Amino acid sequence: MNDITKNSILPEVDNFKSGYVSIIGNPNVGKSTLLNSLMGMKLAIVTPKPQTTRNRITGILTTDNYQIIFIDTPGVLEPKYKLQERMVKTAFLATDDADLILYMLDATNVDTELEKRILVHLSESNAKTFLLINKIDLVDKRSLLPLIDMYKDKFDFEEIHPISALQGDGLSELIGLIVQYLPQGPIYYPPDQVSESNERFFVAEIIREKVFLRTKQEIPYASSVLIEQFKERDKGKTYIQATIFVERDSQKGILIGKRGRSIKTIGQDARREIEEFIGNPVYLDLRVAVKENWSDNERELKELGYF
């Protein structure tokens, strides 16, 4: 990172502030929705299902006065298999790097049991921490005060700030607060760069989102997407070949569906969004294959890009 700064052709700006801001919390509280709303674009996939996010996803917000690198993380849960272990580790690692941590709650569903590990971890961290109470569009405003009081007693938050990540309530105030707490620092990334992840990653995520939205029960959790080929071909069309790996033959059958109906819908939905994302027509060649028990196998997880 220092190298980028040193060799950077970007102008030096006095009083420029910059830093890493990690968003952490229980599954489904709205972390990815917040990242997207703050960035004004969809970077992280969002579904009503918990455990949608599996990786660290960055969003880089740059103005003339500051550069914030937001880090969206998987929800912290009690891990039952290796992928989940990895997810929790990813979330905690993101707090170690952070200048500021946004600990996020769902005002409609406060799970104090699940959050214990997070609060212990936060208390061991040196970073400053805000509490964000999300989904306030769904609750009576009067219920917020007792919640705020309860959390004041639990942890020494620098700020406690209610928001609706979905509707945008409280977000410009949130950015103002974040900037107040950011240290002075360099421009780490060119101003037009919006993430550390590459196009391939986002394309795989778009496909995975469609699987999450279109399938039920264990299928979303047994699915992982690998981009096998990504290239410009004739007439400016981008050719993308991707494989959706599932864990068992029976899941493969369900994912493909009767006469291929299910996989076809997933492919169509994904192609449309990928075209919008990369700004180019796409030929999407989607395949389904079995990698037995990949989610509980270190080597397979590595091959699928989770390490």
Nearest distance, CB of residue 76 and ligand GDP, angstroms:
10
Measure the CA–CA gap between 279 and 163, rounded to whole angstroms: 32
Q: Given the complex with Mg ion, which of 54 and 291 has the nearer CB atom?
A: 54
Stretch that binds ligand GDP, among 123-131, 133-141, 179-187, 264-272 (CB under 6 A): 133-141
| 67 sits near Mg ion (criterion: CB under 5 A) | no
Measure the CA–CA gap between 52 and 54, rounded to whole angstroms: 6
| 295 sits near ligand GDP (criterion: CB under 6 A) | no
Measure the CA–CA gap between 241 and 292, rounded to whole angstroms: 21
What is the spatial order of strands in the sheet that 159-162 belongs to?
A: 57-62, 66-72, 17-25, 100-106, 128-134, 159-162
279's contact among ligand GDP, Mg ion, none, with CB below 5 to 8 A by partner kind, is none
Q: Given the complex with Mg ion, which of 31 and 252 has the nearer CB atom?
A: 31
| 46 sits near ligand GDP (criterion: CB under 6 A) | yes
Among 22, 52, 238, 295, binds ligand GDP (CB under 6 A): 52
Q: Given the complex with ligand GDP, which of 17 and 42 has the nearer CB atom?
A: 42
CB 35 within 8 A of CB 205: no
Nearest distance, CB of residue 60 and Mg ion, angstroms:
18
Q: Given the complex with Mg ion, which of 77 and 179 has the nearer CB atom?
A: 77
Give CA angle at 15 (24, 61), nearest 5°: 40
Which residue is it, tokens 């406060």? 110
Site size toward ligand GDP, by CB under 6 A:
20
Segment 191 to 250, residues that bind ligand GDP, using CB under 6 A: none
30's contact among Mg ion, ligand GDP, none, with CB below 5 to 8 A by partner kind, is ligand GDP
x-marked contacts with Mg ion along 24-63 as a string, rule CB under 5 A? -------xx--------------------x----------
Contacts of 49 (CB under 8 A, 6+ apart): 28, 212, 220
Among 18, 22, 33, 251, binds ligand GDP (CB under 6 A): 33
Nearest distance, CB of residue 30 and ligand GDP, angstroms:
3
42's contact among ligand GDP, Mg ion, none, with CB below 5 to 8 A by partner kind, is none
Q: Given the complex with ligand GDP, which of 137 and 296 has the nearer CB atom?
A: 137
Measure the CA–CA gap between 133 and 306, rounded to whole angstroms: 29
- The one-letter amino acid at 243: T
Contacts of 116 (CB under 8 A, 6+ apart): none
- The contact set with Mg ion (CB under 5 A) reads 31-32, 53
Instruction: Give the binding site for ligand GDP (CB under 6 A).
Output: 25, 27-33, 46, 48, 52-53, 75, 134-135, 137-138, 164-166
